[in-house]
Amino acid sequence: MPHAPALLVLDMQNAAVAISHRPKETVTTIALLRERARGADVPVITVQHDGPGLEPGTEAWRIVPELAPGEGEKVVRKGTADAFLDSDLGPFLTALGVTEVVVTGFATEFCVDTTARQALSRGYDLVLVADGHTTSARPDVDGFVASDRAVLHHNAIYRHIGFPPRSIRVLPAADVDFTAPQVPDPA
């Protein structure tokens, strides 16, 4: 099957971005990557969470203006940390022939991690954009590690997790080129 990536932008909604770690930097990183994806004819899929504090139609629920979906771009609605669960994300990716998901968004330990692992379990290769996901801004208290450490921790996990025969890459946005991963020569 030929390599076919799609960019996922998870939960970059007003309420989430308002409480996020490095909001401006993360939004800018994702926006630039999204433009490159569009330029490479890579589908961009915006995932939008519905739930308490993120009621559909409210200002808190809306996607931040810098990342608002373009005309004709897919928006997936979800109600759990897993963007595949009870949504049309899986069937949509299948219909497009997608083989790799490039994951960005909010929140690192919840929706980003859960969706990335589900993508691997469903047979997709994965690119986790190292500087394109974030979590809530918080100090190192109440059992949670500080925000910057949480992002670094998840990047490290995905650099070392094995999921044969899936390809897993953790790349800064500047290094994401939407091409197939290089397979080492077995010789």
Quick: pLDDT tens for 90-129: 999 999 999 999 999 999 999 999 999 999 999 999 999 9
| Residue 115 and residue 8 in contact, taking contact as beta carbons nearer than 8 Å | yes
Q: Average pLDDT over the chain, rounded to whole?
A: 94
pLDDT at residue 170 in the model: 98
For 54-77, the pLDDT digits (tens) are 999 999 999 999 999 999 999 999
CB 77 within 8 A of CB 86: no
Per-residue CA distances from 102 to 60, 78, 109, 127 (Å): 25, 18, 16, 5
The encoded tokens of residue 114 equal 């859960």
CA distance 169 to 150: 18
Instruction: Give the per-residue pLDDT at 184.
Output: 60
pLDDT score recorded for residue 143: 78
Q: What value does the mean pLDDT take over residues 26-37? A: 98
pLDDT at 88: 98
Q: Look at residue 185 and tell me whether its pLDDT is greater than 70.
A: no
